[in-house]
Structure 1
Amino acid sequence: MKSLIGSLIAIFAFFVLILAVLGSSFGGIEIIAWLAALVASVIFTIRRHRKGKRDVSAGT
């Protein structure tokens, strides 16, 4: 199983890379959309990690 820290670092690196490629000419709505997508991906990753950890400890 992958580490949670490694997954979170990969997510943040991906978002920073995309933002660097697209440039910094974002308005307020774009920034809110990017932050919402970042938060959603972090929450999804944490839930998936916890579910995987729970399944491994349960023996399934």
Structure 2
Amino acid sequence: MTRGNQRDSDRAKAQKKLQGAKSKNTMSGTEFQKQKEDAALIMREKQRKADEKKAAEAASGKKK
């Protein structure tokens, strides 16, 4: 009957783990929108830098 005890202990462990996890979004709509805009701004900046680097490499490659 040790199997039943193991099952119960595993179930209790899983419940404890789920309780510790964040269950839902606590940000308001405006906070969430601001976070999305900030992330988009960062990604646009990264893309701009990558495009500049690619253009510089292409220009230097053509001069050789």
| Fold shared, TM-score > 0.5 on shorter chain | yes
Higher RCO (CA 8 Å, separation ≥ 6 residues): 1
Superposed CA RMSD: 2.1
Structure 2 runs not aligned, ≥5 long: 1-21
| Structure 1 runs (4+) greater than 6 angstroms displaced | none
1:11-47 CA deviation, whole Å, 9 max, x = no partner?
xxxxxxxxxx8x7210011101101011101111111
Q: Which has the larger radius of gyration?
A: 2
Normalising to structure 1: TM-score of the pair?
A: 0.56
TM value normalised by structure 2: 0.53
Unmatched runs of 5 consecutive residues or more in structure 1: 1-20
